[in-house]
Chain A
Amino acid sequence: MRLPFRPLIRSLCALVASGGVLAAELSEQDYFSELPVVLTVSRLAQPLAETPGAVTIIDREIIRRSGAREVADLLRLVPGYLVSGRNGANPSATYHAPLDDYGVRNLVLIDGRPVYSTFYIGGTHQGMMGVLLEDIERIEVLRGSNSAAYGANALFGVINIITRHTADTQGAEVSVTGGGAGVNDNLARIGWGNEAASFRLSTGRRSDTGYSNVNDDKIVSQLHLRGDLRPAADNELMAKVGVTQLSAGEGVPGSVGNSLRAVYRRDFYLQGQWRRQLSATEEITLSASFDEEVFRDAVPYALDPSVTLDSGGRGRRTNLEFQHQLGISPELRVVWGAGYKYEEALSPPLYAQQAAVSFHEERLFGNFEWRPHPQWLINAGGFWGRHSLKGGYFSPRLMANLHVLPDHTLRAGVTESTRMPTLFELAGDVRYYPRSTAATNPYRWFAFFNLPVRTIVASGNLEPESLYTEEVGYFGNFRDWRMTLDVRGFIERMRDSVGNGVRTIPGYVLPVAPFTPIPVRDFVSGSGFKIRGLEYQLRWKPLNDTEIWVNQTFEKFVHDATYAERFPPTRFTTLALFQKLPHDFDLSVMWHATGAMSYARNIASDILPAMQRVDLRLAYPFRVGSTRAEAAVTVQAADGSHPEYRPFYLFDRRAYGTLRFTF
């Protein structure tokens, strides 16, 4: 019965198609009439010589050629970024100063959606795992403070991960990776649709055994669905939904309160963005996103098995934003907008309450891009936010770009950035109720009187962190040599850096004589410091098939007497060679060198010596019929084991192979 209809459908299709062709005859209109401007200013990426700050872009090709498995690994290719991880399951990257283990002071966006944790420390390192590297179009890193454009959290810059448009990922792709250090990654992706509506479903899993000497095996599984609709030429709608699960080893053998175990995290998100082109010079964007993270981590307390040290919970964030871009004249462009975010954390063990703690923030922002003279570009803007618990803040920026010569730009500016305290820093209240009155339990008297042991009690008396930055820069494009050079000199002054404090609470005393007050941990605004330094990034294509990157950072860390945290190296370097070889082979060599530093703690046993690391990748693309394929071998730490984070946490040499098919 089905067959007779087929010719009819086919002829209908042919009719529609031929109608399309007839309507599409060329005329002089195609030469001289006013066609709608497709690549409007708001759609165009800003040239690197015009950005209000130094920007590094890592594109899809470099992501593939690097052999990296983690976004954090890619940030090794960005000057100023220190990459490590408190264990192998928690890779993290920080800019200039390793102030925390979680990437708290960077803002990480995936397609515009912030991915920092809401319910605990505010880390971005796990949220950053919630994207498949194969789905990424490019990563744009604005090096240095960017709160003036993105608000609190963008203290040390923005890592902007942009995934591929679904129209560009039609068809299917599968890849498998396997090798040493338990590396076992898989990816499957399918894309379908047409010019008006296109979709992508991608799923991936990756796992490895992390560092040696550390319980940090990790499995990350994820599933993402993205759709792009274009109901009309001037309207675009993007929607995404996805889930990421992380299961990771944690703990130290024999530890009393941090024994070996697995922790579990699940992130779910829902996101929508609508862009409407009002004219060639005007566009509005509406964005909304919802994030939920669930974290499970429960470990029995060795000295009192009745007590479970639980730091699990659930965080939620809702983000709404309206943005309006407007070209007032060829010399003046304005972007302004308003936003609202609501964040809540639910964790009875961390907040000592059954209800969720929450805050909301109203936000207003604006930026002028003014070209008073063809050689000058001035960016002036600011971001105002009102935090329901800590009040208002304002982050301004003024940046001037001077095109001294057409391909040589000098840049200078000042900006002040803010980080608002996290919910945990404001309201954390960690209590445990010992039950055992055995003599071996140091907390038996608490059990006897049914009193809680309190470990962290946030007073909430802390100021937003602020970073005042002065910078000068240079961007040069030496076209004849096919080389670009980007230099950034900076002085970054941190005020009210949040650190650990100790205090006593009235009434919280030893339950037995002498009834002395018990100290608890608090978060306090403390010390300040200053980082003075210079970093540069050189990209050179001496030959068609050869690309060389040189990144170097030199910095001096000056702190006041109360600072006792971690210290950055005075110098770190990345050299990368991307070389196409005969017979389509493709070779990448990356060498990273970091001076001595303290990443975990600033005590002698935790000082990391100067170290190097060499990563290699050799790939061979081929075809199987119409299917494109690539076989690659990557060796990370090819020069042998090196310490990460702590001197005895070793990242061993690991080799793995990848086979990829694109249909």
Chain B
Amino acid sequence: MARFLSRLAIACLLVMTLVLPAAASQRVWVVVAEEGGVQAETAAVLQAGLDGLELKVSRRQLPLQDSEEPPALIVTVGAAAFDETLGWLAGRPGAWERVPVLATLLPRAAYDARAARHAPGIAGQRALSAAVLDQPLARQLALLKRALPDRPRVGVLAGPQTQPLLPALEKAATARGLRLVAAPVNAPDEIYPALKAVLESADVILALPEPTVYHSATLQNILLTTYRARVPLVAFSPAYVKAGAVLAVYATPTQVARRAIEMVRGWQAGRGLPPPQMSREFDVAVNTKVAASLGLSVDAGAAIAEDLRRQEGGP
């Protein structure tokens, strides 16, 4: 609780009060935990995309005044804003108990973990959903097939959240002529032995967003080890690509915001909030220096993304 309050005190809160023309009584709050950066970019796209709405910027500190009318929907930007909003809503009585929350710009794992953490405090009938940063497995496998066609043995470090996905991943991989080499990781000290085991037969490592395995503290060792084995790491974020991964398919903040706007429109039209959604749009990041050093010829990210979109039947 103390951590939550102190974070709120530091965090800048941008509250946009959006009055939707279609339903004049419906107000939407957009909660941003940090000023600037990708959060601001997302908020700006949300604001522009839900046009015709009136924006009110406020720098008030939470708790918001209880006297205020609850909005019809809260949209949070980033994992911290989602966490703090749920924390604030927890135990808030009356009309607040049914305010739905749409999280954006966060990994699915973060959404699930935070929703579960606050579940005892927030009312069961509240609708929760998210526009997450994760990418469909099929798209990631298509990326491997397109960008690294000579590397069919795909290594995966499967943490607790990835393990249930393995059968589906294996099936999808086999369908594309790829072979899955997975090793389970249930604790931090299993990462390294698992990586070594996978590197014995894999010729590319696919990093899936999995907090037990991939975070800033483990990234360095994983990148150095895979590089020494001359096996490229295909990651899930442009930040990892900058750090040394060869490739990633990812959704930009703008693309995630656009997906969230679609979800808000659906909710507005009375269809409620769908389950968490991944972005339809995506980009591909390439680290050309690391690729060249590994002797790989990887096309430009834009060209790969173009081909993948065509495969998915997009524009």
Output the least CB separation between A44 and chain B (Å): 4
B22 interfacial contact with A, CB 8 Å: no
**CB of A440 closer than 8 Å to a CB of B:** no
Contacting pair B212 A24 (CB below 8 A): yes
Contact between chains at A27 and B78 (CB < 8 Å): yes
Q: Tell me the smallest distance from the CB of B191 to a CB of chain A, in Å.
A: 9
B105 sits at the interface (CB 8 A)? yes
Interface flag for B216 (CB, 8 Å): yes
Neighbouring B residues of A32 by C-beta, 8 Å = 37-38, 237-239, 253
Does B297 contact A477, Cβ atoms closer than 8 Å? yes
- Asked if residues A27 and B107 are in contact (CB atoms below 8 Å), the reply is yes
B273-315 vs A, Cβ < 8 Å mask (1 yes, 0 no): 0000000000000010110110101000000000000000000
B189 on the A face (CB < 8 A): yes
Q: Does A321 contact B (CB under 8 A)?
A: no
A37 near B: Cβ within 8 Å?
A: yes
Determine whether B257 belongs to the interface, using a CB cutoff of 8 Å to chain A: no
Q: Which residues of B contact A168 (CB under 8 A)?
A: 196, 225, 228-229
Query: Does B29 have its Cβ within 8 Å of any Cβ on chain A?
Result: no
Does residue A47 face the partner (Cβ distance < 8 Å to B)?
yes
A 448-486 to B, binary, CB cutoff 8 A, 1 in contact else 0: 000000000000000000000000000001010010000
A24 near B219: Cβ-Cβ < 8 Å: no
Q: Are B228 and A165 in contact (CB under 8 A)?
A: yes
Q: Which residues of B contact A170 (CB under 8 A)?
A: 192, 196
Q: Are B228 and A28 in contact (CB under 8 A)?
A: no
A31 within 8 A of B: yes
Report yes or no: B224 in contact with A38, Cβ–Cβ below 8 A.
yes
Nearest-neighbor residue (CB-CB) of B248 within chain A: A31
The verdict on B106 contacting chain A, using a C-beta distance below 8 Å, is yes
Contacts of B218 in A (CB 8 A): 24
Report the bound CA distance from A27 to B237 in whole Å. Answer: 11
Question: Is B223 a contact partner of A479 (Cβ separation < 8 A)?
Answer: no
Interface string of A346-360 (1 = CB under 8 A from B): 000000000000000
Q: Indicate whether A195 sits within 8 Å of B192 (C-beta atoms), given known contacts A26-B107, A26-B109, A26-B209.
A: yes
B126 in the interface, Cβ–Cβ < 8 Å? no
Kindly state the interface size class of chain A when it binds its partner: 35 or more
Residues of A within 8 A of B80 (CB): 27
**Cβ-closest chain B residue relative to A236:** B224
Q: Which residues of B contact A37 (CB under 8 A)?
A: 242-244
Residues in A neighbouring B238, C-beta threshold 8 A: 31-32
Select A46's contact among B216, B244, B293, beta carbons within 8 Å: B293
A328 in the interface (beta carbon within 8 A): no
Q: Is A513's CB within 8 Å of the partner chain B?
A: no
Check if A407 is an interface residue, CB within 8 A of chain B.
yes
Report how far A17 CA is from B107 CA in the complex, Å: 22
Residues of B within 8 A of A560 (CB): none
* Contact of A47 with B292 in the complex, beta carbons under 8 Å: yes
- Does B215 belong to the interface (CB within 8 Å)? yes
B295 and A47: CB pair below 8 A? yes
The answer to whether A35 touches B239 (Cβ under 8 A) is: yes
Q: Are A44 and B290 in contact (CB under 8 A)?
A: yes
- Expressed in whole angstroms, the Cα–Cα distance for A195 and B222 within the complex equals 10
A404 on the interface (CB 8 Å rule)?
no
CB atoms of A167 and B225 under 8 A apart = yes
Q: Does any Cβ of B come within 8 Å of A4's Cβ?
A: no
Any A CB within 8 A of the CB of B58: no
Contact of B78 among A23, A28, A482 (CB under 8 A): A28
Instruction: Tell whether, in the assembled complex, residue B237 and residue A25 are in contact, meaning their CB atoms are under 8 Å apart.
Output: no
Q: Does B35 contact A (CB under 8 A)?
A: no
Docked Cα-Cα span, A47 to B225, in Å, equals 19
Contact with B along A25-55 (1 / 0, CB 8 A): 1111111111111110101111111100000
Decide: A31 and B290 in contact? CB cutoff 8 A.
no
Question: Which of chain A's residues 241-300 have a Cβ closer than 8 Å to chain B?
Answer: none
Q: Which residue of A lies closest to B105 (CB)?
A: A28
| B295 neighbours in A (Cβ, 8 Å) | 47-48, 477
Sorting the interface of chain B by its residue count into under 10, 10 to 19, 20 to 34 or 35 or more gives 35 or more
A372 at the interface (CB under 8 A from B): no
Q: Contacts A17-B187, A37-B243 known; A26 to B220 CB distance under 8 Å?
A: no
CB-based contact A44/B243 at 8 Å: no
> In whole angstroms, what is the CA distance A407 to B291 when docked?
13
Q: Which of chain A's residues have a CB closer than 8 A to the CB of B236? A: 31
Q: In the complex, what's the smallest C-beta–C-beta distance from B246 to chain A, in angstroms?
A: 9
A482 to B297, CA, bound (A): 12
What's the Cα separation between A41 and B236 when bound, in Å?
Answer: 22
A30 touches B237 (CB 8 A): yes
Contact check, B211 vs A26: say whether CB atoms are below 8 A apart.
Answer: yes
Nearest chain B CB to A354's CB is how many angstroms away? 49
- The reply on A391 being an interface residue by CB < 8 A is no
A35, A46, A137: the one contacting B242 at CB < 8 Å is A35
| A407 CA to B289 CA, complexed, in Å | 15
Question: In the bound complex, do residue A30 and residue B215 qualify as a contact, i.e. CB atoms below 8 Å apart?
Answer: yes
Docked-complex contact A25 and B211, CB < 8 angstroms: yes
Interface residues in B217-255 (C-beta closer than 8 Å to A): 217-221, 223-225, 227-230, 236-240, 242-244, 250, 253
Residue B113, interface by CB 8 Å: yes
| B79, CB-defined interface residue at 8 Å | yes
User: Quick check: is B188 within 8 A (CB to CB) of the other chain?
Assistant: yes
**Which residues in window 96-140 of B have CB below 8 A to A?**
105-107, 109-110, 113, 133
* A406 contacts the other chain (CB 8 A): yes
Q: Which of B187, B196, B212, B250 contacts A31 (CB 8 A)?
A: B250
B42 nearest CB neighbor, chain A only? A28
Whether a CB of chain B sits under 8 angstroms from the CB of A1 is: no
* Interface 1/0 per residue, B162-199 and A, CB below 8 Å: 00000000000000000000000001110010001000
What is the distance, in angstroms, from B113's C-beta to the closest C-beta of chain A? 6
CB distance from B252 to the nearest CB of A (A): 9
Is A20's CB within 8 Å of the partner chain B?
A: yes
In the complex, are the beta carbons of B150 and A26 less than 8 A apart?
Answer: no
Interface contact B250-A27, CB-CB below 8 Å: no
The answer, yes or no, to whether A233 is at the interface (CB within 8 Å) is yes
Q: Could you tell me if B219 and A35 are in contact, using CB atoms closer than 8 angstroms? A: yes
B88 within 8 A of A: no
A25 to B287, CA, bound (A): 25
Q: How far is the CB of A76 from chain B (nearest CB, A)?
A: 23
**How would residues 605 to 617 of chain A score, 1 for a CB under 8 Å from any chain B CB and 0 otherwise?**
0000000000000
- Residue A21, interface by CB 8 Å: yes
Which A residues lie within 8 Å of B297 (CB)? 406-407, 477, 479
With both chains docked as a complex, state the minimum distance between the C-beta of A51 and any C-beta of chain B, in angstroms. 11
In Å, the complex CA distance between A122 and B38 comes to 61
With A21-B211, A28-B79, A31-B236 in contact, is A195–B106 under 8 Å at CB?
no
Bound-state Cα–Cα, A29 to B39, Å: 10
Q: Using Cβ atoms and an 8 Å threshold, which residues of chain B touch A34?
A: 239, 242
The residue that B239 contacts in the complex, of A20, A30, A39, with Cβ under 8 A, is A30
State in angstroms the CA–CA spacing of A21 and B218 once bound together: 11
Q: Which 8 A-B residue pairs are closest in the complex by CB-CB distance?
A: A39-B244, A27-B79, A31-B237, A44-B293, A24-B215, A38-B223, A38-B244, A47-B292
List residues of chain A with CB under 8 Å of any chain B CB: 17, 20-21, 23-39, 41, 43-50, 59, 137, 165, 167-168, 170, 194-195, 233, 406-407, 477, 479, 482
> Given contacts A27-B106, A28-B133, A50-B292, could you give 14 more A-B pairs where the C-beta distance is less than 8 Å?
A17-B188, A21-B211, A21-B212, A25-B110, A27-B80, A30-B215, A30-B216, A32-B237, A36-B220, A37-B242, A165-B228, A167-B225, A407-B297, A479-B297
Q: Mind listing 20 A-B residue pairs with CB under 8 Å?
A: A21-B212, A24-B215, A26-B109, A26-B211, A30-B209, A31-B38, A31-B107, A32-B239, A35-B239, A37-B243, A39-B289, A41-B289, A44-B227, A44-B289, A46-B293, A47-B293, A165-B228, A167-B225, A168-B196, A168-B228
